[in-house]
Homo-oligomer: A and B are copies of this chain.
């Protein structure tokens, strides 16, 4: 009397089926495709030698600790380094404000578990990061999207959303994934004030903050919130800040962090205890060994130079070849160029044709919780070499010319 497995799965799981986008992206795994679909760092900037030395050193000198179980909140020297670094950019962050996660995706999952009751509303930018939607769908979240432009979330439209009583506001202020937009200082300040007035927390997701290729660095929402409240030795404001070593060192070590008020950190640690006990001691200690003497400050210059060159080659090729009806956001940093087709065109249809021409991207509708954005696409520039970028964007440019001509 076997019950089929499908009948046993929890209600939330029935909403989690392999998405159309995931099926489409399988098409990009052919080896001869130039894929701008992923969000992968360039392997050329991985600090492989530093990892070799660090592994050897920590295994030789503290092998028993490196390979043993560790504390749920993370390796203390690594947490201390993160707290100190945050202090450099104007926030007083105590050790007790910092917790380590296995990548930022895990922090997104924990935020779902921590805050979302089925049916709760979350305010998101439109478009927003696909992985956040996937994480929170599993908890039955509903979304209120606030439109954005190349200066990020249009904060003037936020108040309406806040009146609904959402659990939190999710924002990627720097070189947003997917749109590449950066929230202006004025909008950041207004966001902090509005969130405070309505008593709604802000989740600031900042994987790319240090990957700026032009323009001035802007203070984090965490820093602005901290200043707004005045000084305190321990951060006790309204922002939960996420960042990661994935783009500064390497994603394969799955290492990220959360900065948040102590009450939130304590609860997240309980969630993490039940979810995976702790993040790999090995990876935390190795990453700390690599990073501890200011390595990242130096290394990020190489990453910036590498990605800036790739972005610039992509922008040049787009300007040269994309038809005038197609627009894109000149991202000041990060890893993506967001591209907008004429309203009459469909990016998923374009995707299928592009794959035939051996070039790929992500149709933008994946980044809208309601499936809108049919005429948008996300193009990654961090992973492919400049030569491949020129070749791939040339293929895409000719395809776009053909398609736009057909709709004239």
Binding site for B on A (CB under 8 A): 1-3, 5-6, 8-13, 16-18, 38, 40-41, 43, 46, 48, 51-52, 55-56, 59-60, 63-70, 102-103, 105-106, 109, 113-117, 120, 131, 134-135, 137-139, 167-168, 196-199, 201, 238, 249-254, 261, 263-264, 266-267, 270-271, 273-283
Contact residue among B17, B279, B281 (Cβ-Cβ distance under 8 Å from A270): B17
Contact residue among B66, B113, B263 (Cβ-Cβ distance under 8 Å from A10): B113
Of all chain B residues, which has the CB nearest A48? B63
Copies per assembly? 2
B253 touches A282 (CB 8 A): yes
Of all chain B residues, which has the CB nearest A133? B274
A5 touches B263 (CB 8 A): yes
A281 touches B252 (CB 8 A): yes
Contact residue among B51, B116, B250, B263 (Cβ-Cβ distance under 8 Å from A6): B263
A106 touches B251 (CB 8 A): no
Contact residue among B70, B252, B274 (Cβ-Cβ distance under 8 Å from A131): B274
A238 touches B2 (CB 8 A): yes
Cβ-closest 5 pairs across A and B: A43-B64, A67-B250, A48-B63, A252-B281, A55-B55
Q: Given the interface contacts A63-B46, A117-B10, does A252 sit within 8 Å of B69 by beta carbon?
A: yes
A276 touches B105 (CB 8 A): yes
Of all chain B residues, which has the CB nearest A285? B252
A139 and B275 alpha carbons, distance in the complex (Å):
11
Q: Given the interface contacts A66-B252, A252-B69, A264-B5, does A275 sit within 8 Å of B105 by beta carbon?
A: yes
Contact residue among B261, B270, B279 (Cβ-Cβ distance under 8 Å from A254): B279
Chain B residues near A55: list those with CB within 8 A: 51-52, 55-56, 59
A270 touches B43 (CB 8 A): no
Chain B residues near A117: list those with CB within 8 A: 10-11
B277 touches A103 (CB 8 A): yes
A114 touches B275 (CB 8 A): no
Chain B residues near A113: list those with CB within 8 A: 10, 12-13, 138
Q: Given the interface contacts A63-B48, A275-B106, does A282 sit within 8 Å of B252 by beta carbon?
A: yes
Contact residue among B52, B67, B254 (Cβ-Cβ distance under 8 Å from A48): B67
B199 touches A276 (CB 8 A): no
- Nearest CB of chain B from residue A34's CB, rounded to whole Å: 17
